[in-house]
Amino acid sequence: MAFCSNCGQQLDDKAKFCSACGTSRSVQQTANENKRKTVYEGEIRKCPNCGEVVDAFTAKCPACGFELNNKKVSSVLQDFIKEINECEKKMANSSTAEKSGWSSWSKSKRFWWVVLNLLFVCIPLVIYLALPLVTLKLTPKLTSEENEMASLIENFPFPNDRESILSALVFAKEKIDFISKESINRKTAYWMRLWCAKAEQLKQKADLLFPNDSIVKDSYNEITADENRVNRIIKIKAIVGLVILVIAVVLCIIRYGSNVGVTDSKDYNATFEWQTTGLFAELPEPDTTNGKIVMETEKQVSIELYNIETADFEAYVKSCREAGFTVDVTKTDMVFYAKDDAGYNLSIFYYDNKDLMNVVVSSYDIESDMEYKTNNDASTPTTAINVKNFTFNLPDYWDEEGSKNEYLQYYAEKGDKVVMLGIAYPEESDDNYDVSFNGLEADNDNMVKAVAGMFTDGDVVDHEVFESDHGVKGMLYHFTYNQKIDWNTKVDGSGYCFCFPSESDRRWFYVVLLYTNNVSSNDYKDDYMSMLADIKEK
C-alpha cells in the first residue's frame, strides 16, 4: 500500500496522481530515491525492570540494581559441562588407556627386574618408587581422551553474566573437591592444576563484573583451601621421595662404590714371570709378561694381562686354538670359552675399556680314578619339588633363601664365590601374547636383550633349543657378565637361563643358574643340566 509523499493521502494501486493534492506519483518515487535514509543495526539492551539502556557486559542495572541473566550463554555453559562429562565417561570406559610401569613390562623384563632387586638388595625398587614422588609436578603422559578434555578445559571461554559465572565456579569447585580426595599422583596433580587455573580465571572475571560478591568469594576460598592442601601433600611427597633417593644413592656408594674420584688400584706396569709347571703348561705363553697372577691353585690358574689391544686378544685366542682348545668353543668379540681333549677348561675375557685380558684355566673336569669311582657309585642326592604344574628334582645342596611370590631362590655358595639358582614362574599379563614355544621362539630377540641387559656388562654368548626327557621344550641361554660388588672390586660371572611356557595356566618358567668365575661352572652345570632334563609336567 502506497501513500502520497506530499500530503500523506493513501494512493490507489493504479493511480498516477494523488487524488487530494494532485502530486505526480513518479515525482514521489524520485523524491524517495534521493532521500537520505538512516539504518539501525544490532540490539539495544534495556533493563527489563526499569527500561534503562545497559552495556552488553553489564551484570546489574546501574539504575535499579536488577540482575541481568543471559539465558543463551547459560546454555553454552551447559553444553560445556555436558562435554566434560562425556570426556570423563570416555576416559573411564577407554580400552586403549596406556599402561605404564610394571603393568606395561614384558614377562622377561619383570623376571630380570626381580633378579636385579635381589642382587642389589632392592635398591632399584626404592628408586623406582621414589622417582614418581619427586616428579609429581611434571606433566604426565596423557591418552587421546585425556588430551581432549585438557584442551576443552584450557580453551573454553566462560560466559560473562553472573548466573553462568557462578554456575561455572561451582562446577569447577566440585571437580577440585573430588580430585583433592583422590590419591595424589602425577596425573591427579595435573588435573588439579588445570581446574584451579580455570577457577582463577573465573574469579578474575567475576571481580571485574560484580566485585566483592559473597558467593564468588566463599566458593573461591573453598577452592583455594583444597589447592593448598593438595600442594602440601605434593611438597611432602616430593621431600620424602628426595630423601629416599638420597638414601638409595648413599647405599649404592657404600655397598658398591662409586667411579667418581676413584682411581683404578691396578698397577698396569707390573710384570710377572711365566711358569712352565702345573696348569701353566697347558696354556700357550702370551707375548707379554705385563700383568699379574691373580690365583694359582692345584686346579685353577687365573692371570691378568695389561695393556692388551683387540689384536692381542685375537692373536692369543688363535694360539689357544692351535694348542688344542677346540672342544665346545664359544667365541665373541670379548669372550672365549673352550676345552681341550684332556678336559681342561679355558676362559678368556677381554675388557677393551681397560685394555685388560683375564685368562683362566682349570682342571675341575679331570677326575682321578677314585673321584670317578665315587661319582659313579653315588649320584648327587636330589629332592623333588612341585612348582605349579611341573616337578623339578633339585640337588640337596641348594639352600633356599630370598624366595618371593612366584619366585624361588637358592644358594650353594656365597661370599666372594656366589652360586645362585632361581626359578621364576610369572603369569603372562598380555592376553594376546602367544604362551607357547612358538611364541617364545618368535620373541627370542627380545629375550636375548633382556638377558644381556641384566648386568652392566652382560652378554648372551649362546642360545639353543632345549627339551627335557619328558617333553618340556624351551630355550636355553648362556650369558656372561661383569659386575661391581664393592668399592674397588668387580667380578666376572656366567650363567644359564632356561625359559619354557606353561600353556595350561599361561605362565612362563625361568630356571636360572648364576655363578662367579672363581667357581668352577662344571661343579654345578652338570647337575643343573640334569635337573633340566628331569623337568616334567605333573
Grid coordinates representing 167 are 554456575
Grid coordinates representing 86 are 562425556
**Residues near 263 by beta carbon (within 8 Å), at least 6 away in sequence:** none
- For residues 5-17, give the mean pLDDT: 74
For residue 141, the SS3 value is: coil
- Residues 277-332 have pLDDT tens digits of 888 999 999 999 999 998 888 788 889 999 999 999 999 999 999 999 998 888 88
Grid coordinates representing 474 are 624351551
**Average pLDDT value for the chain:** 79
Instruction: Sort strands 390-395 and 399-400 into parallel, antiparallel or unpaired.
Output: unpaired
Q: In angstroms, how far is CA 427 from the centroid of its own chain?
A: 19
Give the per-residue pLDDT at 171.
86
Percent of all residues in the chain with a pLDDT value above 90, rounded to a whole number: 21
Residue type, 427: E
Give the per-residue pLDDT at 371.
41
Using alpha carbons, select from 388, 197, 238, 359 the residue that is nearest to residue 288: 359
- For residues 167-176, give the mean pLDDT: 86
Please state, as a whole number, how many other Cβ atoms lie within 10 Å of the Cβ of residue 222.
15
In the chain, which segments carry CATH 3.30.310? 278-362
More confident residue, 203 or 122: 203
Backbone angles phi, psi at 458, to 5 degrees: -85, 155
Most confident of 41-55, 401-415, 503-517: 503-517
Percent of all residues in the chain with a pLDDT value above 70, rounded to a whole number: 77
Most confident of 7-16, 39-48, 53-62, 465-474: 465-474
- For residues 170-182, give the mean pLDDT: 86
- For residues 102-116, give the mean pLDDT: 69
Using alpha carbons, select from 454, 509, 508, 505 the residue that is nearest to residue 480: 454
In the chain, which segments carry CATH 3.40.1000.10? 379-537
Burial (Cβ within 10 Å: 0-12, 13-18, ≥19) of residue 349? buried
| 278-362 to CATH, choices 3.30.60, 1.10.3470, 3.30.310, 3.30.160 | 3.30.310
Give the torsion through C-alpha atoms of 450, 454, 460, 464, to 10 deg: -60
- Give me the CATH code for the 379-537 domain, please: 3.40.1000.10
Q: Which of 28-37, 233-242, 309-318 has the lowest mean pLDDT?
A: 28-37
Using alpha carbons, select from 287, 355, 352, 275 the residue that is nearest to residue 316: 287
